[in-house]
């Protein structure tokens, strides 16, 4: 009986210690760094990170300066100097300077491979280069 009581006490102590440590860990977890003031943030890619504020997405640089104010419904990480952005239901492209190189007009833009991407617009599919010019697949 004493052995069962000791085992029970030991289990209770372990359970209390574990749950207290877990609770303290969660309480002390704070956002820090240049992304701290945002609701969500992605990793830095090509020197920019996507950030979410009030349900809209934009980009900041590594020092926290806003490159693209949060105005998009969805954004992707930069890759090879461009990023896909969605405004409403349409997709476009940004460069690392934050300029729209292709306004959000496409239903979908696939990933670029060898300088061209498949795009969908009004039910049709074709390929375009990074300037929006139609090219052969």
CA–CA dist 48, 64 (Å, integer): 9
Residue 118, classified by CB atoms within 10 Å of its CB into exposed (0-12), middle (13-18) or buried (19+), is middle
Average pLDDT over residues 19-47: 68
> What pLDDT sits at residue 31?
62
Is it the case that residue 82 has pLDDT exceeding 60? yes
Average pLDDT over residues 64-88: 96
CA–CA dist 81, 29 (Å, integer): 33
Between 64 and 22, residue with greater pLDDT: 64
Summarised one tens digit per residue, pLDDT across range 18-27 is 443 333 333 3
Is it the case that residue 79 has pLDDT exceeding 50? yes
Summarised one tens digit per residue, pLDDT across range 94-129 is 999 999 999 999 999 999 999 999 999 999 999 999
pTM reported for the whole predicted model: 0.74
């Amino acid at each position: 009986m004493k052995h069962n009581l000791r085992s029970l006490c030991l289990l209770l102590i372990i359970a209390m210690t574990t749950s207290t440590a877990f609770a303290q860990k969660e309480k002390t977890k704070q956002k820090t760094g240049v992304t701290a003031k945002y609701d969500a943030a992605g990793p830095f890619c090509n020197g920019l990170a996507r950030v979410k504020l009030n349900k809209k997405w934009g980009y900041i640089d590594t020092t926290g300066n806003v490159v693209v104010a949060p105005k998009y419904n969805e954004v992707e990480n930069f890759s090879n100097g461009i990023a896909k952005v969605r405004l409403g239901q349409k997709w476009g492209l940004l460069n690392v300077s934050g300029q729209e190189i292709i306004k959000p007009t496409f239903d979908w833009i696939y990933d670029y491979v060898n300088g061209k991407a498949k795009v969908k617009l009004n039910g049709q599919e074709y390929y375009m280069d990074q300037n929006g010019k139609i090219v052969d697949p």
